[in-house]
Amino acid sequence: MTYEKPADLPDKIQLFIDGEFVDAEGGAQFDVIEPVSNEVYTRAASASKADVDRAVAAAKRAFDEGPWPKMLPRERSRILHKVADIVESRDDRLALIESWDSGLPITQAKGQARRAAENFRFFADLIVAEHDNVTKVPGRQINYVNRKPKGVAGLITPWNVPFMQESWKLAPALATGNTVVLKPASYTPLSAALWPEIFREAGVPDGVFNLILGSGGVAGDALVKHPDVPLISFTGDSSTGAMISTNASPFLKGLSLELGGKSPSVVFADADLEEALDATVFSVFSLNGERCTAGSRVLVERSIYDDFVARYAERAKNIVIGLPNDPKTEVGALVHPSHFEKVMSYVEIGKSEGRLVAGGGRPEGFPEGNYVAPTVFADVKPEARIFQEEIFGPVVAITPFDTDEEALKLANDTKYGLAAYVWTSNLKRAHNFAHGIESGMVWLNSNNVRDLRTPFGGVKASGLGREGGYRSVDFYTTAQSIQITLNEAHSPRFGAGS
């Protein structure tokens, strides 16, 4: 199969401010490459602080003067369902360009397009169903919640499954009546450039959605420090999250930080080992291993360890590596040469920290591009860097354990705490073990299957705050508490004499 450029790619990607496509100040641009050849295929506008100021001003005007925040939830919901319809109707095209831009296998990119549409449908429905409790003190007082959108939401997203990540923030921010400025990752701006037309066609008023592109240190930073942006929802690296937290603190902004992970998959001897094998292989090698919730540390009970490692290595060696647009491809090319270098450096580090049982470098037949063979290290000690640090590629560390206590200690022995997966047929153990794990989310005998009503987020270095379901509504709105006296006001009569 030859690797053909998708038809009709833009020769430049522009900013979108106040309903118009515009260049950045002074025409500044940056190169955009595709990860199979690492050749530049287009250029994108590189926003300055002044561009960010313009985008925020447009979003603020749309919030203060436009119809969006005042619309009935049903009206906004109808528009957001249209967004979902349009995304669904374009999922082939979307998957194709996402796969081209990011190196994701096309079949997996397609799943992400469907998830993006589902994010809009879910929040379009939720906002209509949403309600708050009213409380009453009989005969005296009624208290209710007046939920209000916060204003201009600053949304900053990473390059892994970019369109889906963007939708995860755009859908709740818009559904709750905010206006937004989105700053996607610089490695993958192509699919973000689809949003303006999608929103326009669906009937989102001008100024409600604004897109800025360009360096995180300039455009992202200006958004974080903008006084008219009261909240920032960020997904990305833990160190960037920490920096954003510092930069936003003088403004006392609302912050939601979805950060890195080094999640454990814990396999007990009494598990359904066939299912555990399928899931633990998929967990770290799907999406090219560029997955925040990847089960990148597999902890295996000693009595099944040797057999499990052998079967795991066999599966990893058989994974189909290929061109991102080939439906047979299971692992494609990593997003960018800098990321490829980082992952490769961990592969080299791993060779002195564990026993290499699969992969270990470039796959055969792929001398160019950002290809890394699915790599498995066994017998990895907890102090190893490949056990502790997020690699964010197709590399896994496997470690044996003897007891439940040791497994739990190993599971919790990193600075991260995003997800965890536990495989056992013992119900009591499953629950007790899950309760002991320091992570925001645990899947028992399950792959990473999301229910959008449940809280999503991490603990420790994996994040701050929760999104998902009503937690997103909470984050993107102010719950103003209103109290009404039903009878006479019971005020002590200061200054009224005796």
Catalytic residues: 258
Closest distance of CB 215 from ligand NDP, Å: 5
Residues 6 or more apart in contact with residue 295 via CB below 8 angstroms: 263, 264, 265, 279, 280, 283, 284, 396, 419, 420, 421
Cβ closer to ligand NDP: 13 or 86? 13
Tokens of 330: 């299971």
Which residues make beta-bridge pairs with 40? 33
Per the listing, tokens 């009206």 go with 75
Per the listing, tokens 């958004």 go with 223
- The CB density around residue 65, as the number of other CB atoms within 10 Å, is 9
Residues 6 or more apart in contact with residue 152 via CB below 8 angstroms: 56, 59, 60, 63, 178, 179, 180, 181, 226, 228, 229, 230
CA distance 451 to 435: 19
Per the listing, tokens 């937290």 go with 245
Closest distance of CB 101 from ligand NDP, Å: 13
Q: Is 249 exposed, middle or buried (0-12, 13-18, 19+ CB in 10 A)?
A: exposed
**Which stretch of DSSP H or E encloses residue 137?**
strand 135-137
Cβ closer to ligand NDP: 155 or 276? 155
CA distance 164 to 192: 10
Tokens of 152: 């201009």
What burial letters (b/e) apply to 111-149, b meaning 16+ CB within 10 Å? bbbbbbbbbbbbbbebbeebeeeeeeeeeeeeeebebeb
Cβ closer to ligand NDP: 244 or 408? 244
Contacting residues toward ligand NDP, per CB under 6 A:
156-160, 183-186, 215-217, 220-221, 224, 235-237, 240, 243-244, 258-261, 292, 390, 392, 418, 458, 463
- The CB density around residue 99, as the number of other CB atoms within 10 Å, is 28
Which residues make beta-bridge pairs with 329? none
Cβ closer to ligand NDP: 51 or 301? 51
Cβ closer to ligand NDP: 240 or 424? 240
Cβ closer to ligand NDP: 106 or 259? 259
Closest distance of CB 174 from ligand NDP, Å: 19
Cβ closer to ligand NDP: 69 or 158? 158
Q: Provide the CA 401 distance to its chain's centre, in angstroms.
A: 31
Cβ closer to ligand NDP: 186 or 325? 186
Closest distance of CB 185 from ligand NDP, Å: 4
303-312 — which CB contacts under 8 Å span 24+ positions?
303/269, 304/267, 304/269, 304/273, 305/400, 308/267, 308/273, 308/277, 308/398, 309/357, 309/376, 309/378, 309/398, 310/357, 311/277, 312/277, 312/280, 312/281, 312/357, 312/358, 312/376, 312/396, 312/398
Cβ closer to ligand NDP: 407 or 461? 461
For 467, which DSSP code?
Answer: B
Per-residue CA distances from 292 to 19, 236, 364, 416 (Å): 33, 9, 27, 11
CA distance 283 to 112: 15
